């Protein structure tokens, strides 16, 4: 008798082995395909159009500050796109490479290396305070001017390739303390202030600067408490309770909208009665949505005009562009306006730099800015060869939860250098 079952099993096994082989072949083939695809991609990046002006952006679209990082990234991309749609600068189009770094330092570093050596950008748009600072030695070495979203802080008053158009956070707080001091609550009693700030560098650096110089005391106000809120905090009850015991008249808030909304809500919940004064990145419409009624009375520093102030010529231009290309957009965030300003600055700098366009000539062109007008969006901007902070002026605005906007109520406040 022949063992048919055994034979069949053997055949089946052989078949299976063959299938395995084929599967392995498929692996080999797919790995080769992947390699080929990679090479194709690399080839694609290298053979790019030649006559463009290359600008890099390191932006936060998916990280902890993306609530304000996204409108910012849109603003700069839109302005550069507007330049291209209008035919470029002296016929040269702009090629913009935005890279999302999710607010992570190593990713920011690798993004910078990619932009500087792979794409050979001549200017860089930066976002986070920490990664901008880490890049300062690199941009100085590579001679790539970097325009930072964050305001340059006092500890580093001048580095050749770092620029910011905005009044620094320290100066904003100084201005706010001045404002608070001028409005005493009771006669004969010093105004009580508290600092609430993020554990990220943008929060710690300005507070450290002010504390090192005992600024509050010198101003004649009393610093009663300070609290640190985590950048990704989901509750801040304990901080709010400690703050309540300190009874501040004014509370300076250096937090981005997400943690700020958490803190302000919890503060209202525990019954903290104080006037909140936020730094410039709090002037965000989304914050008011998050806060609702709790946002009433919130004062925010504004280094430029808001998107709803359409009587300002510069803001009107933003809306003209958006109505034409993005008719679905109903609000223009403050960060969008900040970023738009950088677009204006870059355009002007490229125009001034002339035909020999390099990072160095761009930097020199930027340093020729004297009271450069921005169509009323912000105060005129000045960069000199010793000071790269564009402006020392800001306005104060108050939240209007019913309308979901901020209303400017002060004139431009100039803070001494």
Partner 1 sequence: MPCGLFHTVYKTDEHIFKTIWVKSWLVAFGFFLLLLPFFVSNYVLYVCNMISIFIVGAIGLNILTGFTGQISIGHGAFVAVGAYTSAILTTKLGFPFWIALPIAGFFAAFIGMIFGIPSLRIKGLYLAIATLAAQFIIDYAIVHWERLTNGITGISVPSPTLFGFVFDNDKKFYYLLLGFALVAVVSGRNLFRTRVGRAFIAIRDRDISAELIGVDIFKYKLLAFGISSFYAGVAGSLWGHYTNVITPEHFTIVLSIDYLAMIIVGGLGSILGAVFGVVFMIIVPELLTTVGILLKSTFGEITALISAIKGLVFGVTIILFLVFEPDGLFEIWRRVRDYWKLWPFSYR
* Least distance (Å) between residue 104 CB and partner 1: 7
Kindly tell me which residue out of 6, 106, 271, 327 binds partner 1, with binding defined by CB under 8 A. Answer: 106
Site string for partner 1, 227-266 (x = CB under 8 A): ----------------------------------------
CB-based contact 162:153 (threshold 8 Å): no
Q: How far apart are CA 342 and CA 9, in angstroms?
A: 73
Which residues in 191-210 contact partner 1 (CB under 8 A)? 199-201, 204-205
3-class DSSP assignment, residue 195:
strand
Which is closer to partner 1, CB of 17 or CB of 183? 17
* Least distance (Å) between residue 363 CB and partner 1: 21
Q: How far apart are CA 206 and CA 187, in angstroms?
A: 30
Kindly tell me which residue out of 53, 55, 58, 73 binds partner 1, with binding defined by CB under 8 A. Answer: 73
Q: Residues near 332 by Cβ (< 8 Å), separated by ≥ 6?
A: 307, 308, 315, 318, 319, 322
Pick from 193, 369, 151, 368: which is nearest to 277 by CA?
193
Kindly tell me which residue out of 79, 97, 150, 369 binds partner 1, with binding defined by CB under 8 A. Answer: 97
Kindly tell me which residue out of 18, 289, 351, 403 binds partner 1, with binding defined by CB under 8 A. Answer: 18
Find residue 165's DSSP bridge partners: none
- Under the criterion CB under 8 A, does residue 82 sit at the interface with partner 1? no
* Least distance (Å) between residue 137 CB and partner 1: 7
Kindly tell me which residue out of 58, 68, 70, 173 binds partner 1, with binding defined by CB under 8 A. Answer: 70
Q: Which stretch binds partner 1 (CB under 8 A): 96-104, 343-351, 374-382, 408-416?
A: 96-104
Q: Which stretch binds partner 1 (CB under 8 A): 35-43, 143-151, 179-187, 335-343?
A: 35-43
HSE at residue 84, side-chain half, CA atoms within 13 A, is 15
Which is closer to partner 1, CB of 132 or CB of 261? 132
Q: Which stretch binds partner 1 (CB under 8 A): 99-107, 259-267, 371-379, 388-396?
A: 99-107
DSSP 248-291: -SEEEEE--HHHHHHHHHHHHHTT---EEEE-GGG--HHHHHHH
Q: How far apart are CA 262 and CA 58, in angstroms?
A: 27
Q: How far apart are CA 416 and CA 177, in angstroms?
A: 13
Q: Tokens representing 412?
A: 């431009």
Q: Which stretch binds partner 1 (CB under 8 A): 98-106, 274-282, 315-323, 399-407?
A: 98-106
Q: Residues near 125 by Cβ (< 8 Å), separated by ≥ 6?
A: 55, 56, 57, 58, 59, 76, 98, 146, 147, 149, 339, 342
- Under the criterion CB under 8 A, does residue 33 sit at the interface with partner 1? no
- Under the criterion CB under 8 A, does residue 84 sit at the interface with partner 1? no
Kindly tell me which residue out of 93, 102, 237, 398 binds partner 1, with binding defined by CB under 8 A. Answer: 102
HSE at residue 97, side-chain half, CA atoms within 13 A, is 21
Q: How far is CA 315 from the centre of its chain?
A: 19
- Under the criterion CB under 8 A, does residue 156 sit at the interface with partner 1? no
- Under the criterion CB under 8 A, does residue 8 sit at the interface with partner 1? no
Kindly tell me which residue out of 76, 79, 83, 104 binds partner 1, with binding defined by CB under 8 A. Answer: 104
Q: Match 């998107």 to its residue by tokens.
A: 307
* Least distance (Å) between residue 103 CB and partner 1: 8
Q: Match 């022949």 to its residue by tokens.
A: 2
- Under the criterion CB under 8 A, does residue 134 sit at the interface with partner 1? yes
DSSP letter, residue 33: H
CB-based contact 250:273 (threshold 8 Å): no
Q: Which stretch binds partner 1 (CB under 8 A): 111-119, 247-255, 265-273, 395-403?
A: 111-119
* Least distance (Å) between residue 29 CB and partner 1: 11
- Conformation bin of residue 214: beta by default, left when phi > 0, alpha when psi is -120 to 50: left
- Under the criterion CB under 8 A, does residue 105 sit at the interface with partner 1? yes
Q: Which stretch binds partner 1 (CB under 8 A): 129-137, 300-308, 348-356, 380-388?
A: 129-137
- Under the criterion CB under 8 A, does residue 77 sit at the interface with partner 1? yes
Q: How far apart are CA 20 and CA 28, in angstroms?
A: 12
CB-based contact 123:366 (threshold 8 Å): no
Beta strand 413-414 with 393-400 is: antiparallel
- Under the criterion CB under 8 A, does residue 284 sit at the interface with partner 1? no
Which is closer to partner 1, CB of 42 or CB of 185? 42
Alpha helices in 151-278 (DSSP H): 169-181, 201-212, 215-219, 237-246, 257-269
Q: Contact residues for partner 1 (CB under 8 A)?
A: 18, 21, 24-25, 27-28, 31, 38, 41-42, 44-45, 61-62, 70, 73, 77, 95, 97-100, 102, 104-107, 109-111, 113-114, 116-118, 130, 133-134, 137, 199-201, 204-205
């Amino acid at each position: 008798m022949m063992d048919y079952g055994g034979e069949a099993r053997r055949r089946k096994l052989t078949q299976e082995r063959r299938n395995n082989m084929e599967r392995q072949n498929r692996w080999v083939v797919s790995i080769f395909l992947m390699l080929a695809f990679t090479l194709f991609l690399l080839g694609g990046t290298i053979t790019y159009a030649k006559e463009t002006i290359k600008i890099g952006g390191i932006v936060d679209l998916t990280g902890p500050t993306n609530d304000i990082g996204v409108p910012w990234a849109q603003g700069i991309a839109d302005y550069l796109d507007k330049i291209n749609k209008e035919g470029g600068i002296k016929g040269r189009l702009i090629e913009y490479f935005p890279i999302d770094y999710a607010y992570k330092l190593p990713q920011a570093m690798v993004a910078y290396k990619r932009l500087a050596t792979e794409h050979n950008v001549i200017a860089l748009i930066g976002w986070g305070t920490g990664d901008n600072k880490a890049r300062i030695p690199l941009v100085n070495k590579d001679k790539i001017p970097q325009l930072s979203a964050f305001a340059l802080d006092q500890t580093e008053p001048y580095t050749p390739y770092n620029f910011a158009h905005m009044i620094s956070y320290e100066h904003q707080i100084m201005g706010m303390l001045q404002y608070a001091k001028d409005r005493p609550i009771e006669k004969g009693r010093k105004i009580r202030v508290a600092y609430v700030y993020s554990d990220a560098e943008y929060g710690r650096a300005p507070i450290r600067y002010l504390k090192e110089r005992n600024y509050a005391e010198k101003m004649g106000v009393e610093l009663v408490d300070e609290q640190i809120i985590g950048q990704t905090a989901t509750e801040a009850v304990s901080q709010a309770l400690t703050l309540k015991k300190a009874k501040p008249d004014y509370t300076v808030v250096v937090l981005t909208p997400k943690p700020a909304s958490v803190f302000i809500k919890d503060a209202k919940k525990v019954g903290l009665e104080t006037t909140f004064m936020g730094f410039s990145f709090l002037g965000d419409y989304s914050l008011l949505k998050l806060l609702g009624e709790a946002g009433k009375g919130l004062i925010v520093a504004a280094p430029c005009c808001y998107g709803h102030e359409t009587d300002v010529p510069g803001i009107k231009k933003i809306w003209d562009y958006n109505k034409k290309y993005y008719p679905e957009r109903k609000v223009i965030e403050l960060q969008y306006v900040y970023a738009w300003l950088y677009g204006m600055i870059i355009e002007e700098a490229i125009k001034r730099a002339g035909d020999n366009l390099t990072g160095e000539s761009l930097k020199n062109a930027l340093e020729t800015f004297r009271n450069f007008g921005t169509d009323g969006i912000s105060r005129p901007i000045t960069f000199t060869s010793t000071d790269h902070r564009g402006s020392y002026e800001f306005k104060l605005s108050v939240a209007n939860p019913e309308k979901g906007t901020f209303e400017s109520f002060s004139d431009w406040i100039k803070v001494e250098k």
